[in-house]
Amino acid sequence: MVGGYLTYGTFTQTGLGGWVLAQELEWFGSASQKLTVLLPLVVAMVLPLLLVAPFLPKGERARLAGPLLPQRAARPISWKQLLVFGLVPPLVALPAYYYVQRQAERDESRPVVSLDLVASPAALVPADTKFVRLQAVFQADYQYVLRETSYSQVRKTDRYVPLTGPDWQPGQPVRFFLDTSTDAYFDEANQRTIVFDQTTAFPAVFTGQLHTSALPVVVQREFTRHQVTAAEPYYVLENVYMPNGQPPRAASQQYWLIPVLGIGLGVAILVGGGVGLLIRRKRGLA
């Protein structure tokens, strides 16, 4: 459970994992998601042993340290065990695929709620709203950009921007934030492209999926430093392209990769393990 919580928080950049990432960015200027997950897990496993060990007899200490010491070669798994291991990935992947596919199909029938903060800054969000068409002012001067790099190459850019009414002033609560990985906005009404990397606020219409209180911890901190205060509750609009103003089609999602990967992993386990067992048997080791 601890591992799952840390992993979820790290990759969504919220909770404890998000706090650790924010501290890394503040102290070192960069952060590693992998290390943020692995290091606390190692500490969580080793620390209890270190705390308990001084109070145990020598014999108990040796037994406690047993798993950390070199062991004799373990007996190879049996064919039945190999079959079980090989079946686990597809048996997990198939229900997961069914769930996400059904959820996507249900989302197709959800309404896209239109909100206009330019005309009505206090517009309310109806309960159970998932997809939104939001007209608001893009506060370009207060945007915050997170860049994910790998081997010094930028792999992904996440841009977080306050979306407000036209009369918003710094220090006033912000109810909506945009989360987008794009670098520009195409104004269909005036047939022009507006680059996000600027400091001039402009009105725009954004579509996407709405999330409640989902800003990464590091983004919240940076906004607070610049007098951008999140309202309670606040919403994050994940920028999603909606053709013809409709929610994304389930058929357009690549959920089929879930069972393909699950079955592929299962086959790889069975083939690799089977070959290994046959070799051991041929050599008289099994």
pLDDT tens digit sequence for 48-71: 666 665 655 655 555 555 554 455
Is the pLDDT confidence value at 2 over 50?
no
For residues 32 and 24, is the Cβ–Cβ distance under 8 A?
A: yes
Locus of tokens 């010094």: 152
Helix (H, G, I), strand (E, B) or coil at 98: helix
For the segment 7-22, what is each residue's pLDDT rounded down to a tens digit? 444 445 555 555 555 5
Average pLDDT, the chain: 77
Phi-psi bin for 121: left (phi > 0), alpha (psi -120 to 50), beta? Answer: alpha
Residue with the larger pLDDT of the pair 183 and 254: 183
Query: Mapping DSSP to helix (H, G, I), strand (E, B) and coil, where does residue 150 land?
Result: strand
- For residues 215 and 146, is the Cβ–Cβ distance under 8 A? no
Q: In this model, does residue 30 exceed pLDDT 60?
A: no
CB-facing half-sphere around the CA of 173: CA atoms within 13 A:
9
Residue 8: the pLDDT is: 44
- Residues forming beta bridges with residue 131, ordered by sequence position: 112, 209
Q: Which amino acid is at 15?
A: G
What is the model's pLDDT at position 234?
94
